[in-house]
Structures are given as C-alpha cells and as structure tokens.
Structure 1
C-alpha cells in the first residue's frame, strides 16, 4: 500500500476541496470519508500555513444546480473555493436523475451531465488554485477515432475542458488514452481497476487457485487484449482472446452487429477463466463469450468489468447465470448502478472509493502516482497472500 505518512513531508498544492456532482453522490461520500480517515491518521503535522485546514471531517463543497422550466440550468457555488485545489467528481453515466422541462420529466443523459460539469467549472471562474476533473467513465470515450465524416467527440471534450482551465483529468479504463493528444500540455491520467478485481475474486470466491494449470485470463475482443495480457502476466497465468466477426454491411444501434466470436488461445478445459473488459453495454456479447467458454470445458467463468452499463437491463445476466453460462460478475461502483442489481447472488461490487481517495490525496501533494497508475506491486502483494494461504 502507498505510504501516506510520506505525504507529511510534501507540502500540498493548496487546501483540498471536493465538489461532488449530484451524479456521483454515493461514491463521493465514500471518497470523502476515506480522505478524512487518511488525514486524521497522520502524525503531527507541521505548523506551516500550507497545512491550514488539512485535517477535516468533510472536504466537500456544496453547490446549487437549479433548472428553469425551459430546461436551461445554472450552477451557483454556496461557499468560496478561492485558492483551493479543487477536485470535481462527475459520473456522466448516471441515468437515474431527472429534471422538468416544459412540464415533462426528462432523464439526464451523458450530455446533460457534461454540461453541468462545465457549469461548475465556469462558476469557479478562475478563483481556484487548480481544477482537477475526476470522470471515471470517459465522456464519449467510445468515439475516440475519426472515420470519414464522423465527429471526434472524446478529443473535442478534453480540449474544451483544457481551454476552460482544468489542470488534471483523471479517468479509468479509457478506450484510447491518446485522446490526451488533443491538449498535450494538460495532465491526463488513466487508471485500471485490476487490483480491485483480483481482491474481490480472492475475497468472495472459495478455493480460488492462481496458477497456469488452474486459471486463464481471457479478452472478449481485440480492444481488451492489452489489459488481459497485463493482468495474466502479473498473475503468471496464460491468456487468450475472442475475435469478433462482424457484419460490416449493417449498422444496428450505432455499430456493426457481431456475427460470431472466434476463440484464439490455449486449451481451457477444467480451468477457471477470468474475462476482463472495460465495460458491459447490453451484455449479449459477454454472455455469448461466457457460453462458448463453458462449451470449451471451462470450470468456472468470472466476468470482470470496470463499468457495468447494462443498457438493456440485467435480465440477460439473470438468465445466463441460471443456465450456468458464468459464475460471478464483478463490476465497480465508479458509475451509478441500479440498487437492486447488488441483490443478485452472482453480482459482486468492487469498491473503488478508497483507491480514488488515495489518488486524490497524492495528486493534492503532487506526489508520484506510479504506484496507482501501474498497480503491479499491489496485485503481486495480493497474490502473495493467496499463495501463503495455499
């Protein structure tokens, strides 16, 4: 684990202020509690003015975000953030919030959340010492490359926020981190949830064995291969992948439909399999992949995904679990999850709040993030605990 006591010798950039957007309230509360716990546990702090208001019970700054009947909105900060190191936490995928427009009830879209984020930045109006954006799910992250006359939305978003004055942008499992090239002198950090996946597996799954004879890590497509190879190499196990064969003559719901999944890799008969990916959208592709693995003789199948969107609901996973297609689904709380999903017997939530609080604490001190950006040491520490028990 990172040594938080080392931060005592590093002067913070400025007093910490956490603005939690309405879209991320539950996660923000947990992050705030961890930050307070970290700092209350530190040794005696220097009398340096830089450590003024360093230890607090609550770092959150409240704001108001009313909407007019026309659907337009504004943001008002209810307290001063002058000279502070501001971290804004936003979940652009929260589909549970509503607002009234011309008498009708509308649900927030990612576009609505993004506009509210820009309103908060505009309300700060150059008063903060630094503005750091924490957007776990990268807004428009899937539109990260340009073909023909398409828009390049992810890069446009990042460039726009940079021009509004942000200093750092923190996200998780970006489809393509190279969108940071749109504003190359702005900070852009992309984190992985691999240690939390592994911790959830060894905590919740009995007789979980990690070696080449008992475990394989699978990528469900070409795009997720890098993270699967990394995870497998750190665990010291083999990896494989599925190739998605698509029908490029059709477009359904914005993408070419998948015709079949072709498996490339070693024999998995009798082994546990981890499927690791950045997101689940509708889930049909993931269930199909799981079924194919079981047909090939996989003992147990564990699905690990950073963002469980479940755009068509979770019924397909209920059915898949009943049919034995997979044995557990692990996803993070970085984005909003429908509360009743957690009641499923196969549904495991990997809590990212402590990890996120650690990142905020280190960024506030301008300390190295090498430990959390490439969490090899953390995974190996967990692996050692598993091996010691065996």
Structure 2
C-alpha cells in the first residue's frame, strides 16, 4: 500500500545547501517528473536579527529540509559590517524555517549531513551537551526524524528513542569512487589494509575491512590530559597498533578532516612503515587550517589521494587540487528521500553491505 505522503513531497533547501538541493531535486525530477523544491529565505534586519520565510504552501506535505551547518562561505550584514555565518547561525535559520511551516506540514524531516555540535557529544567535565540539546529541541518543534551522515558518535541516537535519527554511511560511495580512480588495486590481506586514525574510527574501518576481506590497523592518540587547547586535550603522539604493512596500500578512514594535522601525521607514519600508497577517506573535509600542509605532504609523497564528499560546502581551492576527488552524494540523498517518502525500509541504504561486497567482487573479476 502506498504511503499517504507519496507524491505529496516537498524539499526546502536553506541557502547553505542550495546547490545540493538542486542536485537532489534534479534526480527526483528524473524519477518522478515533478519539481519538489519549495523556495525559502531568511532575510536579516540591519541589527543582525532574522526571520524565516517559506514561499509556497507546505500544508499536509512530507517536507525535507536541507541544511549545511558547515558552510562558512555565506555572510550577512550587521551594523553595516559583514559577518561570516557560523554553525550557530545556520542552526537558528533551520529553526526559523521549521517555525515558518506553522505546524501545517504533514511531516518534517531534517537532513543535516554534518550533525550540528556532533563533536560535543559527551561530558568529561562540567560542560554543556550541545548536540543532545539540539536533538531534543528539534523533537519539541515537531520534527519527525533527522537524517545525518557518519555521526561523530552514533550513540547520539539514544537521545531520541521514539523519533528517528538515521545515521547513513557513505562507505558505498567511497568504494565506488576509489574503484573508478584506480584499476591496479590488489584486494587481499597481503596487499591492502584499512587503518583507523583513532579509536573512534574503528567501527567504520572494521565495517569496510570485513566487506573487502582484508585486515585492519589502528592508531590511538596519546594526549596531554593536563592541558586544554581549542576545547580539547592536545595530542602528544599517534601510536600504531597493527602488523607489518611494508609494500601494502593503506586506506585511512575517518569522519572528518578538521585542521588535518592528525591525518597527515598518520599518513606519514604509514609511509615510514613502508606503505606503498596511502589513500585518505573522510566524509567531511573541513580543512580549517587551509591546504598548504596538504600540498607539502602530497609533494613529499606522504599520501596519494584524498576523497571527501560534497555533503558540506567545498572550497574552490580544494576542488582544483590534483590530489583531491569529490564523492558525489546527491543521488544517494535523493534515494533516501524517495525511500522515506514511500515508507520503505532504510536498512539497505543506511549500511549497504551487500552492494559494497558486490562492488568488491566485480572489481576483482574485471581487474
């Protein structure tokens, strides 16, 4: 039986996710021959205050709101000066658009690829739990479910036991992107290894390594717990746990590249241990300290390729680098929206193990 919301679909892309929204709508248009984008805006007063405007009816529709809280390329005027938009600004705009729907939408799903305040997911002292507060706030505003990708800590699902928090893995798209770029990979335990740059990435690495049929390695971060720098305890060193990797291709998998110092240090240690090539997989490429250190590392042969998704804003400078590959997620998000709108199961989409295994088997046959 068709879901009552089928063909009564609406997509609202905030300014931070305009380009991604257009790509998703184009795919859905090809599938359903209908335009689903609903215009919206968040104009600001000269004081910096704002309001949310939804420019078409949302009554009884199945609404999907797209927001990129990491898009720091956007600015707004306050008191005559330009302010760059922070994650806090984007989150406030999201709440404004939800409020502008006035409770008339049949169902609201928020698609937030980078989970707002996802890095502040647990307490280690007397401090706030911002991510949990955000999730509860959206629940209280009537949001039916939230879709995010590769959450820093998947246990955030426990905050919403009755509402949905779908955490999607982009592992299939990374696998396809790697296979499309390189035809000389030898997929066995003697030639390929997946590496976790820290303890938090171990689950992602085990998932992929199991499907590829290869071994894993892991680094753990030795920290100075007597100091706090930029909100965290500084890393003293990365220590490697694993076997001999001499002559092997190594794939480092993590949820994000922030400043990039840890990822480069890990890649450097792998090369010192004899790794043939080092590939870097990261769902979110923030590159908060610029790309100069990556340029130097690439020129020195520390890594071979960086793969990150287009789930968040990508700097033009990054897109021009010869060592960088974009993993396009537009079609996958369209499939997620289509699946949720029809009321179908999300199991195959959230962790597509069978499709990854088939991609690996096909690669072995053809290469």
- Distance in 2 (CA, whole Å) between partners of 1:210 and 1:239 is 13
Q: Given the alignment of the two structures, is residue 10 of structure 1 paired with residue 6 of structure 2, yes or no?
A: no
SS at structure 2 position matched to 1:337:
coil
Q: Given the alignment of the two structures, is residue 187 of structure 1 paired with residue 164 of structure 2, yes or no?
A: yes
Instruction: Report the Cα offset of residue 12 of structure 1.
Output: 4.8
C-alpha distance after superposition, 1:37-86 (max 9, x if no partner): 122xxxxxxxxxxxxxxx40x21000121100000000111110101000
SS at structure 2 position matched to 1:290:
helix
| Number of the residue aligned with 1:241 | 218
SS at structure 2 position matched to 1:178:
helix
| Number of the residue aligned with 1:6 | none
Instruction: Report the Cα offset of residue 306 of structure 1.
Output: 0.1
- Distance in 1 (CA, whole Å) between partners of 2:279 and 2:249 is 8
Instruction: Report the Cα offset of residue 261 of structure 1.
Output: 0.8
C-alpha distance after superposition, 1:201-226 (max 9, x if no partner): 11012312211111000000001011
CA contact (8 A) 1:158 1:180 kept: no
- Partner of residue 304 from structure 1, selected from 281, 284, 287: 281
| Number of the residue aligned with 2:339 | 362
| Number of the residue aligned with 1:340 | 317
Instruction: List structure 1 segments (4+ residues) > 4 angstroms apart after TM superposition.
Output: none
SS at structure 1 position matched to 2:280:
strand
Alignment of 1:35-46 (within 5 A): 35-39=28-32
CA contact (8 A) 1:301 1:328 kept: yes
- Partner of residue 19 from structure 2, selected from 9, 26, 32: 26
- Distance in 2 (CA, whole Å) between partners of 1:294 and 1:65 is 48
TM-score, with structure 1 as normaliser: 0.92
- Distance in 2 (CA, whole Å) between partners of 1:10 and 1:266 is 52
Instruction: Report the Cα offset of residue 116 of structure 1.
Output: 0.1
Aligned-residue CA RMSD in angstroms? 1.0
Task: Count matched residues.
Answer: 366
- Distance in 2 (CA, whole Å) between partners of 1:35 and 1:308 is 26
Unaligned runs of 5+ in 2: none
CA contact (8 A) 1:155 1:180 kept: no
Instruction: Report the Cα offset of residue 285 of structure 1.
Output: 0.6
C-alpha distance after superposition, 1:130-184 (max 9, x if no partner): 0000000000001111233110000000000000000010001111222233232
| Number of the residue aligned with 2:113 | 136
SS at structure 2 position matched to 1:250:
coil
C-alpha distance after superposition, 1:216-248 (max 9, x if no partner): 000000010111011100110000100111111
SS at structure 2 position matched to 1:113:
helix
Alignment of 1:1-390 (within 5 A): 10-14=2-6, 15-39=8-32, 55-56=33-34, 58-390=35-367
Instruction: Report the Cα offset of residue 339 of structure 1.
Output: 1.6
TM-score, with structure 2 as normaliser: 0.98
C-alpha distance after superposition, 1:85-144 (max 9, x if no partner): 000010000000000001110000000000000000000011000000000000000111
- Distance in 2 (CA, whole Å) between partners of 1:32 and 1:314 is 32
